[in-house]
Structure formats: structure tokens, C-alpha cells
Amino acid sequence: MEAIRPTSRQAILDAAAKLLVEDPGASLVQIAKTAGVGRATLHRLFANRDALLRDLALEALAACDAACEGIEERASSASEALRAVIEAILPLGDRFHIVLMSEGVFADPDVAAVYERQMREMDELIDAVKQEGGIDLALPTRWIVSVLDALIYTAWTSMQAGDIARNDAPALVYRTFLRGAAPTNSDSSQ
């Protein structure tokens, strides 16, 4: 049996990420062609579309971990760490967008475990920003994390559509997030 080049797997994942963002219904044949590999190679590496999506999801989650590694240790405050996390995550939008579009991948226990760990870490960071006074303590942490997720997703789709510049996205997300979640003054109207 012919050994599969280590780059074939990555070429398939890269091609899938590119094609599936443009066309979520792209076929495995189209993905193999774009990757420059035969269908047989693709099927040896990924038994089916679900297996490919699962590996794309795990790769996106691992890229997120790698991009955010050490941020909290280097940051002088939780708010600074949050801004750095947003700046680190936004360039990963093309890959992560696929994960969010493919909700079925969260049924996979490995994907679900990594994603839930990342959400717990984000909960902890948001709680730290709350303790610094950057976010109203009365707002539920998971609500705030969901709002941040939605803003990041909106930035990804807006960048892809050409509505905002990639360089502007982190500041837009951070500004919108903190101004929308800032503590309210007791004498301001709601």
C-alpha cells in the first residue's frame, strides 16, 4: 500500500475549509480535486463527510487554543487578555466559521469536550473582567459569553462579505462588546 503524504491530509482540510465557506454543499469530489488528491486518498483519510467535518472542527478548535496560548499570562489585566483573545481568534474565522455552520459536529464527544473546555475558560476570563469592573456583575456569565460569540461570528461573516476590514474587526468587536456590557450607572435610564 502506498504511504499517504503527510501533506495530503492538510491539503484536504485546507481545501475543505476554503470550499465549504464558499459553498457548504461542496462535494467530497470537489474537495479532493481542489486539494490535488484523488478520491481514494480522500476516502482513506476521511471515511465520509462527517469524519472530514469532525477533523475540521478539531483542527479549528486546536488552532484557537494555539492562538490564545499564554495570552492571560502575558496580559496585565483581564480586559487586556480579553482584547488579545479577540485579536487572536478573529483571523481564524474561515476555519471556525465551518465549525459553527456544522452544528452536527458538536455531537462528536471529542469536539464537544474541547469546545466545552474552551467555553469554561472563556467563562473564567469573563468573570475576571467582571471583577475588574469592565462588565456588570449582574449579567450572567454564559449570557455574556454567548453575546461575545455572536459578535465574533458577526465579524467573521462581515469580513467575508467585505463589509468590514479584517484589521478593523478586533477593535469593532471589543468596542461593541464592552460598551454593550458595561455596568450601568444607577441614575441612567434603562
Rounded to an integer, what distance in angstroms lies between the CA atom of residue 136 and that of residue 157? Answer: 28
Contact 20, 57 (CB under 8 A): no
Q: Where are the alpha helices (DSSP H) in 36-168?
A: 39-45, 49-68, 71-74, 78-89, 93-101, 109-132, 141-161
The set of cell numbers assigned to 188 is 441612567
Predicted local confidence at residue 180, as pLDDT: 67
- The SS3 call for residue 164 is coil
Domains and CATH numbers, the chain: 1-46 (1.10.10), 57-181 (1.10.357.10)
Contact 163, 172 (CB under 8 A): no
Contact 108, 54 (CB under 8 A): yes
What is the residue whose three cell numbers read 480535486? 33
User: What is the rounded end-to-end Cα distance, in angstroms, of the chain?
Assistant: 69
Predicted local confidence at residue 24, as pLDDT: 81
Q: What is the pTM for the complete model shown?
A: 0.81
Local mean pLDDT, 10-residue blocks, the chain (190 residues): 65 89 87 92 92 91 94 96 95 73 82 93 97 94 93 89 92 87 54
Predicted local confidence at residue 5, as pLDDT: 52
Predicted local confidence at residue 1, as pLDDT: 46
Rounded to an integer, what distance in angstroms lies between the CA atom of residue 28 and that of residue 26? Answer: 7
